[in-house]
Structure 1
């Protein structure tokens, strides 16, 4: 069995834990206990609603760093991740995303708390974002994973990541981007998203990624929808994706910044085949 095959997961729905601004960020409210309680309540609501996994990220830390984050971000995310693991139990896989693109720190947090996967927005290529130019560094990322002894941590990577535009003249062919993420950058999963947080993922683009992945045979990896999934669209998206990463829609009123509502999670899960 190859390393990529070992990274594959039977999960279909991963719920986002959007941490409020952490200590050091401009928006930090100054109350760690309240911040922790918010994250743990969301985790409990998502698990009660039936999601198969969770992903924690420093969503409130705007404006984001384009590269490595300060030590306090890594420390706070590690503390939160360990608390989440204690809250929901070892049977619920946890992932880590360190915004905007600090995959190395995400690996460190995952390794420390026993998380199963990390998300890297730009693993290969280069894009223009509100943080400036972000360039992928898969070579360093995967070597650091080996050095940490964290080869069991899956690396999910975005293709045509949200909140970004490509460098150069227009898009490269989608087929090349997906193939290179998997075959040359070593991604264990590919994430397809809309243009921004909560924005719908383009169905044609998702079908295109599925066609490419189906052509990779034994080297294929799971495809995740990274934004915009709702109870109305979940079943249709899962015709072409292996799983959905859900965040905005499951919050109260479907609004960012609000707490997760268990009943909205259950409504979405009711539309997931085999859940």
Structure 2
């Protein structure tokens, strides 16, 4: 168990549930008729279902801002800050934020809302569904320092969804160099898309080469896979499998959260 994970979550192998926000102002799918009141009502319902189901932490993201930008418009983080500000008193577990796919905006949102961690793609250059995807981890790290936010933990997507790393290096080499050059607080290992299974052999390679940096299984965790995933990973981030019928577009189902967390508590015991 790594120190910061213990400090933030106070349980071994914490499980973080996703609060997927609907499309926000400026997004193609935004429901202007329902407006921000509809977004707020959705967020409140998701948070309640996750917490009542026994989740260890929550990660709030603009998951339905499809198609994503790699440098977001200001309105996205502003809208997310309003949502979190209005539901902040209802959050009983540690929470993080993710402004897809913009690391600096995610850090700003974390600072403004008191989030404990951020998940983003901070390193590498990729050919992706969103075009050529470049990053600047040095800029992001310095931005965090300027904001006085060194306590905001940065989780790096080491195998991003919907993208392929352009350099011809093995996953083991990539992990070691990311840890050395990027100084991440955590590494997230994903499948191809949200909800897609994360290969345990990939998890094993990242864990073997990550040193003391905690590894998060980032997609595809279900009651029948969580034991195998947490054999290698130090924590899990779960979204799709917690939703009604396990469908990405549906709302969080409290019963599915409780089912997963019952398995996790059994593993801890």
Q: What interval of TM-score do these two structures reach, taking the shorter chain for normalisation?
A: over 0.9
| Secondary structure of the structure 2 residue equivalent to 1:249 | helix
Aligned pair count reads 260
Do the aligned residues in 2 keep the contact of 1:142 with 1:186 (CA within 8 Å)?
no
Indicate the residue corresponding to 1:271 in structure 2.
Answer: 263
Indicate the residue corresponding to 1:225 in structure 2.
Answer: 217
Equivalent residues in 2 for 1:15-164, closer than 5 Å: 15-30=17-32, 31=34, 32-66=36-70, 68-89=71-92, 92-100=93-101, 102-121=102-121, 123-164=122-163
- Aligned-pair distance for 1:120? 1.1
Which of 200, 203, 224 matches 1:203? Answer: 200
**Cα distance in 1, alignment partners of residues 64 and 4 from structure 2:** 32
| Secondary structure of the structure 2 residue equivalent to 1:79 | helix
Normalised TM-score (structure 2): 0.92
Indicate the residue corresponding to 1:251 in structure 2.
Answer: 243
**Once the two structures are superposed, what CA deviation does each residue of 1:120-149 show, in whole Å capped at 9, x if it has no partner?**
12x111011111111121100010000000
- Aligned-pair distance for 1:195? 1.0
Q: What 5-or-longer segments of structure 2 have no aligned partner?
A: none
Residues 17 and 158 of structure 1: CA distance in aligned 2, closer, same or farther (over 3 Å) = same
Do the aligned residues in 2 keep the contact of 1:85 with 1:94 (CA within 8 Å)?
no
Do the aligned residues in 2 keep the contact of 1:117 with 1:154 (CA within 8 Å)?
yes
| Secondary structure of the structure 2 residue equivalent to 1:270 | helix
- Aligned-pair distance for 1:84? 3.3
Q: What 5-or-longer segments of structure 1 have no aligned partner?
A: none
**Cα distance in 1, alignment partners of residues 235 and 252 from structure 2:** 19
Do the aligned residues in 2 keep the contact of 1:7 with 1:154 (CA within 8 Å)?
no
Task: Report the RMSD for the aligned CA atoms in angstroms.
Answer: 1.6
| Secondary structure of the structure 2 residue equivalent to 1:239 | helix
**Cα distance in 2, alignment partners of residues 225 and 165 from structure 1:** 18
| Secondary structure of the structure 1 residue equivalent to 2:197 | coil
Normalised TM-score (structure 1): 0.90
**8-17 vs 257-266, greater mean Cα deviation:** 8-17
